[in-house]
Every structure is written in C-alpha cells, then in structure tokens.
Chains A and B, each alone.
Chain A
Amino acid sequence: MKAKILTGTHYMLGDHACAEGAIAAGCRFFAGYPITPSTEIAEWIARRIPLFGGIYIQMEDEIASITALIGASCGGVKSMTATSGPGYSLMVEGIGLAVMLEVPCVIVNVQRGAPSTGLPTLVGQGDVMQARWGSHGDYEIIALSPNSCQEMFDLTIKAFNLSEKYRVPVTILADEAVGHLREKVVIPPQEEIKIINREKPKVPPEEYWPYVPNENLVPPMAIAGEGYYVHMTGLTHDERGYPDITGEAHEKLVRRLIDKIQKNKKDIIEYEEIMIDDAEIVVVSFGITARAALRAVKEARKKGIKAGLFRLITIWPFPEERIAEISKKIEKFVVAEINQGQIRREVERARLNGVPVIGVHKLGGDLITPDEIMEGIWKKQN
C-alpha cells in the first residue's frame, strides 16, 4: 500500500489542512505534545503519517518534542511539531539549538489568549515577539502567518521549503480562529507541489566541513550515517563544527546566521497588497485579523476613503523596507492585531517621516471586528 496526499477540493479544518500540507511537503517525522488549539494537527498526523512510513511520536513535553525534531532532521527526515503558546514557551530552548546547529524544522504555533495558561480555547495573536526573540541571544528567524485554511496548507509547504533552503527553524504563527476554521481547501497533485530540499555536500567526506557556507550563506548539510562524521554543537563553533569560544569566532558565526536571513529577505518575504496604489490610509494586519481588515478597507472605500490593506504573510523577517516605501505616500497606518501592539511597534520602527500609526488592539479571546478597524481608520491619533 502506497499512501497519497488528498489531492482535490476539500471542506477542511485549518489544523487538518496544515497537517496534510506537512505530509505533502515531505514531513515524515512529527514529535508533539497535545495542546489546545493545535491538537487536531497532531491527531491528523497520527492518523496519516504512519501510512506514509513516517513517525508520529508523542513526547513527554514540548522541550523533548522540539529536540526530537532536531535529531530526526539531522537524520535527514523532514520534521514538524505543533503547539500553542504554553508549549511554544518550552520550545524556545530547542529553537535556539536549531538556529545554532542550522537544522531545518517546522514549528506550528496555533496562538491562543495568553500569558500563561490564558485562554486555551480562544484566539490570540500575542506570540509575535516571542517568535522573533523567544530564544536567548541574537539571531534571525522566519515566521509565517496564514489567514485561511488554504494558507494553512500552502504556507506549511512554504515553511518546509524555507526551512530546508536556509537551514533555519520556521514558525507557522497561526491562530485559534484559523486553526479551527473550516473552509474550502484545494490540494494539487503531489507532483505539482514545489518542494525544496536542503543542499547536500558536494565534496567527499574528507574534504567536508559542516559549516562552510554556499553563495546564499547556507552550508550544505550532511546527515548522520553517511560517513561525513559530522560534529554539531550548540557552543559557538568554527566551520569544522568544532567549539571555538572566542569573540572572533562568535562574530563570524552569529553574523552569518543573521546575514543568511537578512541578505535573502527578498526571497523569503511575502505579503499581500490590496488597493495600496492610491491609498491614503493603509491597514496592516495578519492572520485571521487580516480578514476583518479587508472587510473594513472595502467598507471604507464605499464611503470614499482611500484605504488599502497590507497583509503580512511573512511576519519575520519583517518587511520594513516595503513599510518605509509605503509610508512615503500615505497619511497614516492602522495596525490591527489581537495583542497590545507587537506589529504596531514594528510599523512605527519602519515607517518614515513620522507617519501616524493607529493601533487597533485586543488582548485576546475575541476577534477584532471590521467595525473596530473602521474606528481606527477614522481616528486621528492613538
């Protein structure tokens, strides 16, 4: 029996679309720990992945889950986990390890109201900064934000592709509303799905050093068991992978970890712009909230207000150059997000000429409505 992905049109839960997307992307290892509102991803994977010869393993906690992903990925198997805020808090240790070891893996965070145990069953978008800065130290990271069940599928594939290409952990920063939404998802045939795999070493083992970067600043990756005698350490290391505890080695390594994302931003960053060209007011949003923002923008247009929508698909790295460019032509930004202004600060940081940035925020638990965003559009200042 050879299993196949569910090509065709489906009425599907967001969490399930994400899980099927992972399988379509080639994920064959999932380690996780049940947590609302991401559990349906684990359940779907547990049912599906063994049929593809893959592994579902339920670990003892989220630290074990993320660390097992890194181990599996070092064995050459594409790996994913899914969690929500409390689990993500535990995973940041492993995310730091994956950054340092440069091991591809995908982490889905279906956000809920927080801090702490917070609102297990209700929506939140408060983990934006944690996804950026959660682990200790300086590093660059990739996070994507789906706003539909279709994107739960599509962006999961994109997350794997980016993770493999740049050897960096990628977070899918979903939210409870998108995770538990049920809508149409179109799944193409497997052969039409673009899959990127990590670059393999081009030299024989005796000439191979694990951290000599390619032209994209990403080192080709040897996996365990192929005679390359890879050494990886979370300590600061040189191009051989050996510990080198000096400021010089640290500067070289961490600079490259930052640059490999920063210098490839054009390839990584994706956003959607609707009615931006002549816009005087631009609403910035992401995830489920971007759907209310689109409605608000359309209502504003009906009232003769020149509003547009800038929807973040890539949250990190943040598209600051594009925000700066847009800010030259507009009167103000409105940022709508279910948190107290995490993306608003980014927009404030990136905009030029002190263009006003109006925040439309909630603490979590409820969606932001189009009417609330309309109020932001009317507002002169915070």
Chain B
Amino acid sequence: MEETKLMEKKVHPLEEYFRKERLPHIWCSGCGLGIAMTSFLYAIKELEIPKEKVAVVSGIGCSGRVAGYVKMDSYHTTHGRAIAFATGLKLAKPDLYVVVFSGDGDIAAIGGNHLIHAARRNMDLTVICVNNFNYGMTGGQFGPTTPLEAITTTTPYGNFEYPFNLPHLAYSSGATFVARWTVLHAYQLRQSIKKALLRKGFNFIEVISPCPTGFGRPNKIGEAIDEMRYYKENSIIRNGIDPKEAELSFRGKIVVGEFVEEERPSFLEIYQKFLKEKGVEK
C-alpha cells in the first residue's frame, strides 16, 4: 500500500500537492475547509491529472485561501470575481483544468452575477463552493446562504432574509452538473469532483461545511464534532432530484447528492465548432 509506506515515512499522501512552506493554514480548528480541499486534491491525484495542468482560482474569504496552499498555478483574486477570472483563464488556456474554489459569500453574494452568467454560458469550469452559512473571515456576519432566523453578528435578532438554495440557483441558471455534499461525505464529494473535472461545461458543487467560530458559536451548535454528527443524522442522499427540492432550512434536514447531470454543448465546444467550420488557423 502506497499510503502505508508514506505514513511510515511520515509523508502526507498529498504532500506534492501542497505549498508546504505556506503551512500551517489559517483556518480555525473544526473548519471544514481542510476536508473540502483534500477531497479536491485526492480527486486530482486519483485521476492522475498532472498538477501543472490544473489552475485554482479563488476569491476572498476563508475559502479563498485555498489558492494559497495548493502547489498548482493558483490565483487569489478580488472578492467575488473568481469565476470571471477563471472564465478568462480557461478561454486563454482551454487545455487547463480550471477550478474555482471559493465560499458562499464570495460566489453567491458579491459574485452572484458572475455565477449565474457563467452557468448560463455553460462555461467550461468546475466551481467548488464551500458553504458555511456566514462570512467567516470578517468575523461571522450573515450572508446569502444564512438560514432564516439564524444568529450572526449582523443578525443579532435572527436573520430576516431568506437564503439562496445554491444548487437550484446554479441549475436554473444553466449549470449542467450540480451536486451538494457535506464535508462528512468526503468520499462522495471526491467522486463528484472527479466527475466534474472530466466534464465539459459548467459544473457546480456545493460543500456544506462547519464554521464553529463564526456560525456554530452564536447558534449554539456546539463543537465541530457535534456539527459532523448533525450532518450524519440529518443528511438525506437524493441523487437526481430537482434541485428545487433541495432547499435547506435552519437546523433542518440536509438534502445531498448529485442532483443534475445533463449534456449540453459548452461555450468552448460551440466556439471550437465555429473555428473548425470556418477553417480558422491561429
């Protein structure tokens, strides 16, 4: 077993995928980002994609820091703009696997416009959106996914707003692969990321993650382990359902699974077909 050998040598099986000099990371203990990141890296490793062929683009926030830790071409852009940046990079370098790794606030609030339009174009990207239900980096304010009535530093009397159902948003905007897992479902998450990486078009994966510091504490959720136990007891796997039915509620059931997998020509496929038909030489 390769991994056993590595353990004997005290080498992490993903060592070659990290910028070791950048570790330890800045995430709080109990944060789910580590699992989300390693699920992604295992997916790359298992698919044997050369890491120089993968580019990671992040926005701002805790999830945005992923770009700083992976030993790949990695870009930590401005708040909300990861998908727009990734669109340019992918179109310039179609042979790269371009992965957006960012948070719910980054992707669905300030970057919401870029999300829906990249999905509409069926742009050839994989978006991993880690949803921790709040703005963690700035100290736990409510965001576009914070459930109704949840307490955050800017909803001290409970949230007055309805949250987005991100898979539904992505699907109705045009995403052709849509999945949601919690960080408890690390294996399934890895399989979905692998599937997304091999697909054309716009692939959206939501990852539900604990934020013990920003969201757990004010809402009396307990330790991270309690949150993981909560995921275990309350997740329902429903592959293939209409994402409309995957709405989340405050401390309610969590519907997870691969909801959507559809074939539709992607932006690059349509464009490359034009180039071929026109006989364009670069």
- Complex interface residues of chain B between 33 and 74 (CB less than 8 A to chain A): 51-53, 55, 57, 67-68, 71-74
- Contact flags A214-252 to B (C-beta < 8 A → 1, else 0): 000000000111111111111100001011000000000
Q: Give A76's nearest chain B residue, CB to CB.
A: B92
Q: Do residues A226 and B271 form an inter-chain contact, with CB atoms below 8 A?
A: no
Q: Is B31 part of the binding interface, using a Cβ–Cβ cutoff of 8 Å? A: no
| List of A residues within 8 angstroms of B57 by Cβ | 71
When chains A and B are docked, how far (Å) is the Cα of A61 from the Cα of B116? 12
Question: Which one of B5-13, B77-85, B221-229 is at the interface?
Answer: B77-85
Q: A67-B81, A226-B52, A230-B74 are known contacts. Are A55 and B93 too (CB-CB below 8 A)?
A: no
Q: Is B275 part of the binding interface, using a Cβ–Cβ cutoff of 8 Å? A: yes
| List of A residues within 8 angstroms of B113 by Cβ | 60-61, 64
When chains A and B are docked, how far (Å) is the Cα of A380 from the Cα of B52? 66
Q: Is A53 part of the binding interface, using a Cβ–Cβ cutoff of 8 Å? A: yes
Q: A53-B281, A63-B84, A71-B75 are known contacts. Are A29 and B93 too (CB-CB below 8 A)?
A: no
Q: A67-B78, A75-B96 are known contacts. Are A233 and B68 too (CB-CB below 8 A)?
A: yes
| List of A residues within 8 angstroms of B51 by Cβ | 229
When chains A and B are docked, how far (Å) is the Cα of A170 from the Cα of B278? 33
Task: Please indicate which of the listed interface residues B21, B77, B274 has the most CB atoms of chain A within 10 Å of its own CB.
Answer: B77
Q: Give A57's nearest chain B residue, CB to CB.
A: B91
Q: Is A2 part of the binding interface, using a Cβ–Cβ cutoff of 8 Å? A: yes
| List of A residues within 8 angstroms of B92 by Cβ | 29, 55, 71-77, 79
Q: Is B199 part of the binding interface, using a Cβ–Cβ cutoff of 8 Å? A: no
Q: Is B76 part of the binding interface, using a Cβ–Cβ cutoff of 8 Å? A: yes
Q: Do residues A233 and B89 form an inter-chain contact, with CB atoms below 8 A?
A: no
What distance in Å separates the Cβ of A21 from its nearest Cβ neighbour in chain B? 19
B interface residues, how many (CB within 8 angstroms): 43
What distance in Å separates the Cβ of A79 from its nearest Cβ neighbour in chain B? 7
Q: A71-B92, A72-B92 are known contacts. Are A63 and B280 too (CB-CB below 8 A)?
A: no
| List of B residues within 8 angstroms of A129 by Cβ | none
- Contact flags B266-282 to A (C-beta < 8 A → 1, else 0): 00000100110011111
Task: Please indicate which of the listed interface residues A53, A72, A96, A231 has the most CB atoms of chain B within 10 Å of its own CB.
Answer: A231
- Contact flags A1-23 to B (C-beta < 8 A → 1, else 0): 11100000000000000000000
Q: A50-B274, A59-B117 are known contacts. Are A67 and B280 too (CB-CB below 8 A)?
A: no
- Contact flags A28-57 to B (C-beta < 8 A → 1, else 0): 010100000000000000000011110101
Q: A53-B282, A224-B96 are known contacts. Are A67 and B68 too (CB-CB below 8 A)?
A: no
What distance in Å separates the Cβ of A244 from its nearest Cβ neighbour in chain B? 11
When chains A and B are docked, how far (Å) is the Cα of A227 from the Cα of B55? 11
Q: Is A68 part of the binding interface, using a Cβ–Cβ cutoff of 8 Å? A: yes
What distance in Å separates the Cβ of B95 from its nearest Cβ neighbour in chain A? 7
When chains A and B are docked, how far (Å) is the Cα of A353 from the Cα of B280? 61
Residue in contact with B77 in the complex, picked from A60, A65, A97, A225, CB distance below 8 Å: A97
Q: Give B267's nearest chain A residue, CB to CB.
A: A57
Q: Is A70 part of the binding interface, using a Cβ–Cβ cutoff of 8 Å? A: yes
Q: Give the size range of A's interface with the partner.
A: 35 or more
What distance in Å separates the Cβ of A92 from its nearest Cβ neighbour in chain B? 11
When chains A and B are docked, how far (Å) is the Cα of A70 from the Cα of B81? 11
Q: A64-B81, A64-B113, A71-B57 are known contacts. Are A224 and B93 too (CB-CB below 8 A)?
A: yes
| List of A residues within 8 angstroms of B244 by Cβ | none
| List of A residues within 8 angstroms of B278 by Cβ | 1, 50-51
Q: Is A308 part of the binding interface, using a Cβ–Cβ cutoff of 8 Å? A: no
| List of B residues within 8 angstroms of A243 by Cβ | 68, 76
Residue in contact with A60 in the complex, picked from B19, B21, B117, CB distance below 8 Å: B117
When chains A and B are docked, how far (Å) is the Cα of A52 from the Cα of B77? 29
- Complex interface residues of chain A between 240 and 277 (CB less than 8 A to chain B): 240, 242-243
Task: Please indicate which of the listed interface residues B51, B53, B282 has the most CB atoms of chain A within 10 Å of its own CB.
Answer: B282
Q: Is B24 part of the binding interface, using a Cβ–Cβ cutoff of 8 Å? A: no
Q: Is A341 part of the binding interface, using a Cβ–Cβ cutoff of 8 Å? A: no
What distance in Å separates the Cβ of A365 from its nearest Cβ neighbour in chain B? 32
Q: A231-B74, A232-B76 are known contacts. Are A94 and B81 too (CB-CB below 8 A)?
A: yes
Q: Is B87 part of the binding interface, using a Cβ–Cβ cutoff of 8 Å? A: yes
What distance in Å separates the Cβ of A18 from its nearest Cβ neighbour in chain B? 20
- Complex interface residues of chain A between 68 and 89 (CB less than 8 A to chain B): 68-77, 79
When chains A and B are docked, how far (Å) is the Cα of A3 from the Cα of B113? 35
| List of A residues within 8 angstroms of B21 by Cβ | 240, 242
| List of B residues within 8 angstroms of A63 by Cβ | 81, 84
When chains A and B are docked, how far (Å) is the Cα of A240 from the Cα of B74? 12
When chains A and B are docked, how far (Å) is the Cα of A146 from the Cα of B113? 34
When chains A and B are docked, how far (Å) is the Cα of A1 from the Cα of B277? 11
| List of B residues within 8 angstroms of A68 by Cβ | 84-85, 87-88, 91
| List of A residues within 8 angstroms of B72 by Cβ | 229
When chains A and B are docked, how far (Å) is the Cα of A79 from the Cα of B84? 14
| List of B residues within 8 angstroms of A31 by Cβ | 87-88
| List of B residues within 8 angstroms of A235 by Cβ | 76
When chains A and B are docked, how far (Å) is the Cα of A52 from the Cα of B274? 12
| List of A residues within 8 angstroms of B78 by Cβ | 67, 93-94, 96-97, 234
Q: Give B92's nearest chain A residue, CB to CB.
A: A75
Residue in contact with B73 in the complex, picked from A55, A93, A224, CB distance below 8 Å: A224
When chains A and B are docked, how far (Å) is the Cα of A72 from the Cα of B86? 8
Q: Do residues A225 and B53 form an inter-chain contact, with CB atoms below 8 A?
A: yes
What distance in Å separates the Cβ of A201 from its nearest Cβ neighbour in chain B? 13
Listed by A's residue number, 17 A-B pairs whose Cβ atoms lie within 8 Å are: A29-B92, A52-B282, A60-B117, A64-B81, A64-B84, A64-B117, A69-B88, A71-B86, A76-B92, A79-B92, A93-B78, A224-B93, A225-B95, A229-B72, A229-B73, A234-B76, A243-B76
Interface residues, chain B, with chain A CB atoms under 8 Å away: 19, 21-22, 51-53, 55, 57, 67-68, 71-78, 81, 84-93, 95-96, 113-114, 116-117, 271, 274-275, 278-282
9 closest A-B pairs by CB: A75-B92, A71-B88, A68-B88, A53-B282, A72-B88, A233-B76, A71-B89, A71-B85, A67-B84
